[in-house]
Amino acid sequence: MSAEALSASDYIKHHLQNLTYGKFPAGHEHAGEWGIAHSAAEAKAMGFSAIHLDTMFWSITLGVLFLWLFSKVAKKATTGVPGGAQNFIEMIVEFIDSTVRGTFTGRNAMIAPMGLTVFVWVFLINFMDLIPVDWIPQLAGWVGASFFGMDPHHVYFRVVPSTDPNATFGMSLAVFALMLFFSFKIKGVGGFATELTMHPFSSSNKLLQLIFIPINLILEVVALLAKPLSLSLRLYGNMFAGEMIFILIALMYSAGIAAGVFGGFLQLGWAIFHILIITLQAYIFMMLTVVYMDLAYQTGEDH
């Protein structure tokens, strides 16, 4: 969808709207039926049961790409002089493995592969932000108009799943669920309850400790719930800001030749800088995941 076809405001809104599939609400001409929303208002009215098809498509596609690529290289791996692809992937695996060894103090063979999966998957998801903002949405609009008779202005297709809070919250909640699982498994119900009620304030005086228990519980529960919230919002906020800057730069191409040339240099400069951002955000998400797993393995004495 080009900037010329829409006003600046509509152009920005169009690029920030997900391709939403859900149940049309009462009062709609297709009430009770399931279909694709043709506007932001329709998407909002579909409620919690709606699915962002573009987020799901790219998340799954990039996850499959990661598995296929690493599996292919692993099958062709040799003990001799490695090829370029094997050397690159071995470098990533060794980097993640050394990071996990230096951060995770427990014993669980799943943590390093999980860290590798999180890092590469989030990196690939973030990397989609480097694709020019109009290319894939324009292609989606053409497909919608050519094969489904849709108005291209009503075909929405975001390509960066990490700019959708549903995706980042979903990933962070999965990490949070694993953290709770291992906390209960390693510490037991009693140990985990003690951790939530006996820290950070403690006293040898029984009466005073009784007073501290509800205070500790409130503080620890808030700190616990803040983990998935901060994990998801950090990734979402940084990637959403990056996407917005690319969209604003793209608007310059419709403002004349001089603005378009200047916008081209801005886009190149921001894309180069953004490579650092997408890598850093993938690393931070992976690192915090490993740290949270380590917290789940820490006993009351280490906590």
Residue 259 lies in a domain: yes
Residue 284 lies in a domain: yes
Residue 152 lies in a domain: no
Residue 73 lies in a domain: yes
How does DSSP classify residue 24? P
Distance CA 64, CA 58 (A): 10
In contact, 129 and 242? CB cutoff 8 Å: yes
Q: How many CA atoms lie within 13 A of 170 on its CB side?
A: 13
- Indicate which residue of 39, 108, 166, 234 is catalytic: 234
Summarised one tens digit per residue, pLDDT across range 62-120 is 999 999 999 999 888 887 777 888 899 999 999 999 999 999 998 899 999 999 999 99
Inter-CA distances, 221 with 159, 181, 231, Å = 35, 16, 16
Residue 171: what residue type?
M
Residue 68 lies in a domain: yes
Residue 33 lies in a domain: no
Q: Which of 16-25, 73-82, 189-198 has the lowest mean pLDDT?
A: 73-82
230 counts as catalytic: yes
Residue 85 lies in a domain: yes
Summarised one tens digit per residue, pLDDT across range 167-186 is 999 999 999 999 999 999 99
Structural domain span for residue 75: 55-132+162-297
Residue 150 lies in a domain: no
Summarised one tens digit per residue, pLDDT across range 197-238 is 988 888 888 888 899 999 999 999 999 999 999 999 999 999
Q: Indicate the number of domains in the chain.
A: 1
Instruction: State both tokens at 45.
Output: 């009215």
Give the residue ranges of DSSP H helices in the chain.
8-15, 40-45, 53-75, 84-103, 111-127, 135-148, 165-197, 206-251, 257-297
Distance CA 23, CA 31 (A): 8
- Indicate which residue of 146, 203, 205, 230 is catalytic: 230
Handedness of CA 153, 159, 165, 166 (dihedral sign): positive
Inter-CA distances, 282 with 231, 241, 256, Å = 11, 15, 37
